[in-house]
């Protein structure tokens, strides 16, 4: 146990110190930690024996749940609204088309059984939010035509659809009836959405109507909500990833306590989850197994990258009259990563018989995708003339805070005013202002969300300056 703790702390420290170095070289950080895991693994230098697929599946799936939650939590609805239809089509029909086209290739070209071909297509059908988010932010890719939020929302929301297809493929390979499979599909979608929305609505009610949530326990409350939303769907065959994504979307666009600081907190949690998953998956891999599936993996990667993904993107985005350059960039940005590998582990742990080593096959495809597509994504944006220097990538996330001047306003609370007896967090101050100081007789109080307003309080409010247009 002592060795494991030292190893974990060393990996985290290495992540911190190597970040700028990797950015300078243009190497995706997640690829580095996957390779680092292989270095520590059985076939590496340190010879750590690790082959626990069952526990890895549980831990990696939960960590993926937090990553998907963060993807929804950071999605700014005002930015997403203009392209939500595009993103929704790509994250559902796009995933399905990619899976079908890839399965056709695997069945007719690689001569695999139809069901195993469909399973491979389903596993690698979604793009990876962790990889896409990290590259867009690290490289400050400011893209035209709302392409950045399109990629963010698509990559953050398409894992649930891929998971549904994987579960359906596994169920079919276990010789379940078609009626059972159809019912499972609807249960996955309906219960996943219902649980996510229900948990989010109840939590918002708790925020607005009670004073239970404070500055100190807010982050713990959100962690508990994510765990609850992730675990409840397993009791009714719902989709856990769909539940946590809807939870994130609703909470991220609600007026909850300390939302921006919590986003920074969960950004750190997500980075830790990404590093942990990629390192563990690298540790679980056996490089000596790669040569046996090298040609197959490369063929699937090439077909997926240059035919299946572009075909799905061009076909679906043509309904929205998207430009060729945007379609090309969105096609290239379809990185595969942690989600695909986690889904492969889920399939392998289900007990079904497979012709190929699915884990190492998907592992190889993900390495190629992150290494090639991830490394050259900035160049692809430049070559397609999709970089817009006037757009700030940070503004597409909920944790962006606009810099603006503020004005101060002092008001005295009358004896019978409706604010009297209410905590600060339950009061709607005018023009979205914030209470920065309370003068109560001779006492000066720095208000907290739990501070209760009393009659006679002199409250200093900060009001954002109003930016008037040049022409009225």
pLDDT digits (tens, 9 = 90+) for 161-170: 999 999 999 9
3-state secondary structure of 143: strand
* Residue 278: how many other CB atoms lie within 10 Å: 29
More confident of the two residues 4 and 454: 454
Does the CA dihedral 332-338-341-343 come out positive or negative? negative
149/83 Cα distance (integer angstroms): 8
**CA 349 – CA 357 distance, rounded (Å):** 12
What sections of 253-404 are H helices per DSSP?
259-284, 290-303, 309-317, 324-332, 338-348, 358-368, 375-383
CB 346 within 8 A of CB 338: no
pLDDT of residue 22: 64
Q: Tell me if 242 sits within 8 A of 160, measured CB to CB.
A: yes
Kindly tell me if the per-residue pLDDT of 45 is higher than 80. no
**Is residue 2 predicted with pLDDT exceeding 70?**
yes
Q: 411 - beta bridge partners?
A: 459
Cα(163)–Cα(158) distance, integer angstroms:
9
Q: For tokens 């939020």, name the residue.
A: 149
Q: Specify the DSSP element, H or E, that contains 80.
A: helix 77-80
240 closest CA partner among 250, 229, 249: 229
The per-residue pLDDT for range 29-42, each reduced to its tens digit, is 667 777 787 877 77
Contacts of 335 (CB under 8 A, 6+ apart): 127, 128, 131, 132, 135, 155, 369, 370, 373, 374, 377
Radius of gyration over alpha carbons of the chain, in Å?
24
Give pLDDT, residue 470: 40
188/199 Cα distance (integer angstroms): 17
């Amino acid at each position: 146990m002592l060795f494991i703790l030292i190893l974990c702390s060393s990996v985290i420290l290495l992540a911190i110190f190597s970040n700028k170095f990797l950015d300078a070289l243009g190497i995706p950080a997640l690829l580095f930690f996957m390779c680092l895991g292989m270095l520590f693994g059985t076939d590496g230098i340190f010879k750590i024996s690790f082959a626990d697929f069952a526990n890895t599946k549980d831990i990696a799936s939960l960590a993926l749940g937090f990553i998907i939650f963060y993807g929804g939590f950071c999605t700014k609805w005002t930015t997403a609204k203009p392209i939500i239809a595009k993103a929704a089509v790509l994250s559902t029909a796009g995933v399905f088309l990619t899976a079908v086209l890839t399965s056709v290739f695997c069945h007719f070209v690689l001569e695999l059984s139809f069901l195993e071909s469909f399973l491979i297509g389903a596993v690698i059908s979604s793009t990876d939010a962790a990889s896409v988010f990290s590259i867009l932010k690290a490289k400050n890719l400011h893209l035209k035509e709302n392409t950045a939020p399109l990629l963010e929302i698509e990559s953050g929301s398409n894992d649930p659809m891929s998971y549904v297809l994987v579960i359906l493929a596994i169920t079919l390979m276990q010789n379940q009836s078609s009626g059972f499979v159809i019912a499972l599909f609807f249960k996955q979608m309906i219960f996943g959405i219902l649980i996510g929305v229900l948990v989010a609505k109840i939590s918002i009610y708790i925020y607005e109507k009670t004073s239970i949530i404070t500055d100190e326990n807010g982050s713990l409350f959100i962690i508990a909500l994510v765990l609850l939303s992730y675990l409840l769907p397993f009791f009714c065959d719902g989709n856990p990833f769909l539940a946590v994504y809807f939870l994130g979307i609703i909470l991220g666009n609600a007026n909850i306590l300390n939302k921006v600081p919590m986003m920074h907190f969960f950004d750190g949690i997500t980075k830790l989850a990404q590093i942990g998953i990629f390192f563990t998956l690298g540790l679980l891999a056996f490089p000596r197994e790669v040569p046996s599936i090298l040609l197959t993996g490369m063929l699937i990667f090439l077909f997926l990258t240059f035919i299946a993904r572009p075909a799905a993107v061009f076909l679906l985005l043509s309904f929205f009259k998207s430009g060729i350059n945007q379609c090309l960039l969105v096609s290239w940005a379809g990185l595969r990563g942690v989600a695909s590998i986690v889904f492969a582990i889920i399939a392998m742990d289900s007990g079904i018989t497979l012709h190929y080593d699915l884990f190492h096959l998907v592992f190889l495809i993900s390495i190629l995708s992150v290494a090639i597509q991830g490394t050259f994504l900035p160049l692809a944006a430049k070559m397609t003339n999709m970089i817009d220097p006037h757009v700030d990538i940070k503004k597409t996330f909920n944790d962006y805070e606009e810099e603006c001047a503020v004005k101060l306003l002092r008001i005295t609370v009358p004896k019978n005013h409706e604010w009297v007896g209410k905590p600060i967090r339950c009061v709607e101050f005018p023009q979205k202002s914030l209470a920065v100081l309370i003068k109560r007789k001779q006492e000066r109080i720095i208000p907290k969300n739990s501070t209760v307003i009393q009659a006679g309080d002199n409250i200093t409010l900060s009001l954002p300056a109003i930016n008037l247009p040049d022409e009225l």
